[in-house]
Each structure stands twice: as structure tokens, then as C-alpha cells.
Amino acid sequence: MPRAFRVRFSKQGRSVDPSLHIDAASDPALAEARPRQKSRYGCLECKKGKVKCDEAHPSCNRCQRRGIKCTVTARLSRWRLEKPGFDWPPSCPAPSCSLRIDARLLQWWMDATCKILVLDLHLNPLSLPLIEHLRVSPALCLALESFSLGHRGCWATKSRVEFFEKRSHALSLCREELTSKAVPLETSFYTVMLLGLTTPFMEDIDDYGKEHLIGARTILEILLRQNDSTRDPKIEQLLAYYTWWDMSCSFSVDPREIPALSTSEVLSVTSRGDAGPVGARFAGCMVEIYHLLGLLLRYCMQVLRGGARDPEHERTLELALTSRYRPDRIRDEDVLFAEAFRNHGLIILYRICRIRRTTDVQGGMPWTDNSSVASRIHGYALKIISLVLPTQIGTPFWNSLAIPLLTAGSELTVDDQVLRNNVREAFSSVLNQCRTNTVARAKDLLEEVWIRRDSGIEISYLELALQKGWNFSLV
């Protein structure tokens, strides 16, 4: 028998005072409290499981809990012809109709891929400013297509065939453009850089793109030798990308094959500030510290491979790292970025050149007490982590800090389990954003370093990479 419900009405009706009514649309507190409307752009893993995705960026909470890769479908935005700091030529039509390029891959580049190569989305020289180079270079169009195709498909097997086809075609056209000199060298630099950066994402992860790095260096040297009147005004921007790329590959390069750029040439360009507002977020002091770290890493890897030590060179590098940046400067993102990389360099210098090992046989070298050096190294590592982890996760600025985060994370001890978990989560977010096998290798290398450290074996991730025979690169 169904239940019977009784409804009781109040004998005295109460009216609502209009003065007490609050408009939710006009009250900012209530407007912020309202739940954010979700779109239908959940990750592929949640769609396969037919569950609701919270669309957290760069990885949803469900994928983080399950420890799986979160593949997000980028929301393709409409073309906009306005951009701060970029003057669109009045006679230039929309990119989708003026370029001989796959519109979807170009849009994926603008919306997702190019963000892993910049620091500031609002001053991005690889987004709309790249259009002027794409209009004159079919090789650059194909290099961009291949990069976007691989990134969109997470470098999976099903997208690899088309990726190889476009990349090989871009390489052939790049040779023709360099031979005919029909394309500006600045444009060819971007083509060579994109081809070189995708080299480790192919079948051989240990191939860091040595030939492309040498080619980019040759192009840059030609541009640096030009007179001020004929030199590209954005030469500092190209120099910033090269020094960053060179620094990321310095773990693997042979100094006899790819020597570092001349310090006087680097300082002569950065002192003028030719890049203007577009390149300022990826240039200036960062060019100097990238160049300095390239010198440091070349020297340290030479020492680890059994080369002779140079105490005078070590003192010069240490002085440059400790005196280049003043602590009383404004603590903005640029200084935070430089401070993280500066401490990254000091950790490597002290770990390789100040900690005595049982295998060291050179006499007369300036060694320091291991306990005091280890304490200093651990302090630098904690400093980097305190700078990096509070920054916003998933941003291009965050992804660019993976190298110092790897160095700092490798120095965490068994007592730093909370920080280790934070570093694990940080690398997972970078991996989901960049989708590269080099970041995945760095994450695995970090876990193995911790296992060795917990068992009492003092080893750096550079030494472990050498033992494994890896040409380590973090592009």
C-alpha cells in the first residue's frame, strides 16, 4: 500500500523583503561561488572509460590517480588577426587561405605545440610572428606540420608514418632552400631547429640531432658576422633559441665537434638588446646563463669521461655563477627563472668537481670536505624546489623549468619523501604537456637515482646516464 504524505501550510504567509534580495549576477562573491560550466573537451582516457572528466590541466585528476597518460583534445580556437606586439600586414589575408599548409596542423601548432617552446604566451615569437616565415618557406611549413602531427598523436605508431614522410620532405626542401639561397637565413634557422628538436622523438632517442645543431650553429655564425645594418633585428631571439638548444644537448655533445659559441660574440649581442619586446622573455640574461651552462656542462661531461681537470676554469665558472645575479633584484618570473638555472649549474659543478670519489686518481686537485659540499648541494636543491613548485603548473614557464627540477630532484634524500612525491607529480604534468620521450626518460632516470641513493650509492644522474650509454638530452 503506497505511503500517504500530508502537506501542512503555514497559517501566516510571509513575503520576501525586496531590499533583502541579492542579485547573484551583480554580486561578485556569489558569481565566483557558482560552479564553472564544463565543456565537452574531456581527455580520451575518460571518454574510453565513459566517465566524467574534470578537464584539469595538464592532466585530469582521474588520470593522475591511475598513473596513466592524459591525452587531451586541444580546443581549436578561431583565427584572430590582432596580437599585442605584432603588426599584421594590411595586405596579408588570413593564414588558413594564404599558406600551403594543413590548416588543422597549423592551428594545433598555434594552440598547443608552440607553447612548449616559449616562456610567455603573450609574447610568443613562434605563433603568429612565424607566419611571415611560413609564407616564403615550404620546408618550414612541412617541418611545422611534422612537429604538430607527432605532438598531436603523442608520437604514437599510428601517426609516425605520416610524421616521417613530412619530415623527410621538409629535410629535402631545406637543403634546396639553403643551396639556392632563395629563403632568408633566419627562416632556414627555424626550419633546421624544428627538424633538430624532433630528432630524439623518432626511433632512436639517443640521437639528439647533432647534424641539425651544427647546421643551426653555422647559420647563426653567418648572421652574427653580418654588419649591423644588414643584420636581422631579432638576432638575439635566434641566439636565445640556439643557446637553449645547445645547453639542453650539452650532456651529449663532443666539444671537439660542436664547441661553444664565443663568449665575446654572445655578450656583444645581448648588450645591445636587439630583440625588442618580442624576444625579451626568452633572451637577455637568459642567453648569458644558457651560454654559461653550456660551457659548464661540456666541461663536467669531459671530466666524467676521464678528461683532465682545469682548476682555473672551474674557479671562473663558479665565480660567474655566484656573482652574475644580485639578490636584491626584483623577484619577478625572469629572475626566478635565472635563479633556478644558476643553482642548477652550481649543483652540477660541485657534484662533479668538488666531491671526491674513490675512482679519482688525479693529484693536486682542489677538493673540499664531502660532508660540507653535500650539505651545500642539498641546500641549492631545496632552493630550486622552493622556487619551481609554487609556480603555476601546466604553463609554458613551468615546463621550461624541467632541467633544473631534474637536477634538484636527484639530490633529494630518503628523508625528503614529500618533496620527492611533489617532483614526481611535477614531471608527470610536464610529460602530459610536452608529450616527449625525453621527459619520460628523465623521469625514469630520476627514479633510478633515488633507488641508488637510498641503497647508499652516491651518484648523479649524469654519471648514471653515462653508465647506461645514454646521449642524454632534455629538449
Q: What is the pLDDT of residues 315-358, one digit of tens each?
A: 999 999 987 554 444 446 777 888 899 999 999 999 998 875 54
Q: Does 90 score more than 50 pLDDT?
A: no
Q: Does 138 score more than 90 pLDDT?
A: yes
Residues 363-382 have a mean pLDDT of: 75
471, amino acid identity: N
Q: Does 103 score more than 80 pLDDT?
A: yes
Q: Kindly give, in sequence order, each residue whose CB lies less than 8 Å from that of residue 102, ignoring residues fewer than 6 positions away.
A: 145
Residue-level pLDDT at 312:
93
Residue-level pLDDT at 390:
82
Highest mean pLDDT: which range of 43-57, 177-191, 245-259: 177-191
- Tens of pLDDT, residues 201-216: 776 667 788 899 999 9
pLDDT-derived band of residue 253, with 50, 70 and 90 as boundaries? confident
Residues 279-307 have a mean pLDDT of: 79
Q: Which is more confident, 385 or 3?
A: 385
Residue-level pLDDT at 278:
35
pLDDT-derived band of residue 89, with 50, 70 and 90 as boundaries? very low
Q: Which is more confident, 339 or 80?
A: 339
In sequence order, what are the beta bridge partners of 83? 86
- Nearest Cα residue to 237 out of 180, 192, 287: 287
- The alpha-helical segments, DSSP class H, found in 305-354 are 311-323, 333-353
Residues 434-444 have a mean pLDDT of: 82
226, amino acid identity: Q
Q: Does 161 score more than 70 pLDDT?
A: yes
Residues 120-124 have a mean pLDDT of: 76
Q: Does 364 score more than 70 pLDDT?
A: no
93, amino acid identity: P
Gyration radius of the chain over CA positions: 26
Residue-level pLDDT at 94:
39
Residue-level pLDDT at 1:
56
Residues 243-264 have a mean pLDDT of: 85
Q: Which is more confident, 74 or 458?
A: 458
The set of cell numbers assigned to 76 is 581549436
Residue-level pLDDT at 172:
93
Mean pLDDT score across all residues of the chain? 78
CA pair distance 128, 89, nearest whole angstrom: 12
Q: Please provide the DSSP assignment of 404-460 as one string.
A: HHHHHHTT--TT-HHHHHHHHHHHHHHHHHH--HHHHHHHHHHHHHHHHHHTT----
Residue-level pLDDT at 398:
72
Q: Does 3 score more than 50 pLDDT?
A: yes
Q: Which is more confident, 93 or 346?
A: 346
pTM assigned to the model:
0.78
Q: Which is more confident, 42 or 228?
A: 42
User: Domain-by-domain residue ranges, the chain?
Assistant: 101-324, 331-355+367-475
Residue-level pLDDT at 83:
47
